[in-house]
Chains A and B, each alone.
Chain A
């Protein structure tokens, strides 16, 4: 370890000038990935918490690993190849932006590149996978300043581009897979509901995602689906099923669970306030319900979350107003 550290220390200064200077972000990314940058504080507070953005994204990666394993089990090693294609394409684009801006390479891609293949049909051609992530990273993230400054989820932006822009034959790809016990039809990562629920519990306990978003999203959707099944069993129910059973089936079907846990609850693109997250969750839940039940679209979670992303500042505005009213007699 000390040998490697010494080697990095020796070759590091070479990237400060000359032709190699442009590659500084790449070297820094590798260096900090291996050893965490050894920066020290220069102002108060002089001690800091050991937590950092890498650690933060690591929790999401850890939560995704079992889901990737399940996807490999159901759809084969092609998923791993898709993740590889996504990483290579995304990394090349992010590195290009980092070198152009002379900024450090962000950690957001670590998660985005795992999430993105999991919300694609497993049979999607590789070139489409690459085109989607390229669009997602460029338009969904980098044009707005990179991780943390993006207002759209880059993985969803990429998938939306594929579905609308490239007219990918989504339905035939999506439902080409058979459902099994505890397993529902859908994209690569959406098939094993049990694992997604466990991952959600883990992420909430790890403090990475906010439970308010997940609860309000799933809760509002379940209530609407239940009420619809009760009010009009012929149109919205299933023969012989009670309204709660219909709601529960809808919850685990398609990308709703995966979307709620991994995509809607992404802290950077959801509102920054707790009340805002409640409003945001209900917005997405209700939009999913409307799209699934009343439009021609097969699956509405992606559009609903993107709509929620766009509405997030509005949710924050309402929440800020309430927050400031609470504080008006203080201080």
Chain B
């Protein structure tokens, strides 16, 4: 598949390459549920003192992936979060995984199995996801390939170059450890199509690794999505999982395998037009989001997104005061929709658009202080095909939308809604302001439900036949 579609949203406030270390907070509010993981099995008591790296809770439905204590402190258990107070100021020795019996596991699952379990126990496995489904891969299974992405094009995710800049040796060692988990499967290292010193250094370093194949990806959101990279490589979702992970994941693997240390530190990008000092910060799960925002100069009427501008969800201080461990960025937008007289009919010298209706097309690209304005009124689809042009997955969002609008999920599935990577570009460019991303998420869920039901029926049928 050739790279197609995609668009770089001209959002201002891109975080710089520096990483700031913030002063320690008074308390950490570690959420028990993230986008993928739900830590329902809490393993600590109210008031218990914990050490860094100690298991606070696990996700029993996803291979017992643990939620590790980011710092030493005393736990208060609430419905939605574990609150760590009385945080120890001294750097206490973290758990090195001695809470798990690796020897017994090695005996049960072999050396590779034990190594994978170690990754799960030390919080590195959470960085892996299946390239197509986005779900956590099974630690017991083997992938068909591994896709390592070193870039993130969504405005604004934590940039790979920022994370790898000072830790290139750890990164390459992490790749070696990943290779050690595999049999003979290739590792595809996706690098941006850009001439930078760092990119060249990465290429030079991995040149000697026969199992690492470098893939160059054009610099356009969301062509860095693992599913699109996998499709480009001719890989399919059927016939086995394809693991994907980013730079943070590789570094976490190295930390776990080389030093047996848990991965609790996160580098989070804080950017967008709503902050005065866009930057990267070094924090951990549960860090009070308000403190991060204050440190970066977010003031006034702003909307904070957990995640990038296109796929992030709005943050509500009451629901989730602390940072989720899966969150890699905070995007801050100005929560405003200015109304200008005949705003829709102005030439648009300072407005950029995916469509060529604005005279800013005559200017070189520039960034904008985009807010949360919808930019128009909701209308019926006029079949302008802008979504089709923007779609990186090569599907026809306008046609799928029309079928989903009529409740025809089967037809939407036949039109390959499964290929959608939920990048949100179709919703972004739609002049009729149709919530395509929302509709497609619901549609994909319905299709998955139908498939599970069908699978269950088939299994039931097979069981009945076997009984006869």
Residues of A at the B interface (CB closer than 8 Å) are 1, 4-5, 32, 34-41, 43-56, 58-59, 104, 106-107, 145-149, 205-208, 210, 267-268, 270, 272-274, 316, 320, 323-324, 327, 329-331
Contacts and interface: CB of A to CB of B under 8 A. Distances in A.
Given A48-B373, A268-B382, A55 B309 contact: no
A268 B383 CA distance: 6
B341 A34 contact: yes
23 contacts: A36-B376, A40-B374, A43-B435, A44-B438, A47-B9, A47-B333, A48-B373, A49-B430, A50-B373, A51-B355, A55-B355, A55-B357, A56-B384, A56-B431, A58-B344, A148-B379, A207-B356, A320-B396, A320-B415, A324-B414, A327-B419, A330-B419, A331-B418
Given A52-B377, A53-B377, A324 B415 contact: yes
Contacts of A148: 379-383, 432
B343 interface: yes
A327 B355 contact: no
Given A44-B312, A44-B424, A327-B416, A35 B385 contact: no
A210 B385 contact: yes
Contact of A51 (B313, B377, B429): B429
A16 B254 CA distance: 62
A204 B113 CA distance: 59
B241 to A, nearest CB: 14
B210 interface: no
A1 B341 contact: yes
A45 B379 contact: no
Nearest to A1: B341
A50 B383 contact: no
A272 B314 contact: no
Contacts of B437: 43-45
A330 B437 CA distance: 21
A106 B382 CA distance: 11
B287 interface: no
Contact of A53 (B303, B356, B376): B376
Contact of B398 (A5, A32, A272): A272
Contacts of B427: 44-45, 48
Nearest to B343: A36
A18 B414 CA distance: 48
A331 B416 contact: yes
A148 B358 CA distance: 23
Contacts of B429: 49, 51
Interface stretch (B52-60, B160-168, B346-354): B346-354
B236 A331 contact: yes
A312 to B, nearest CB: 10
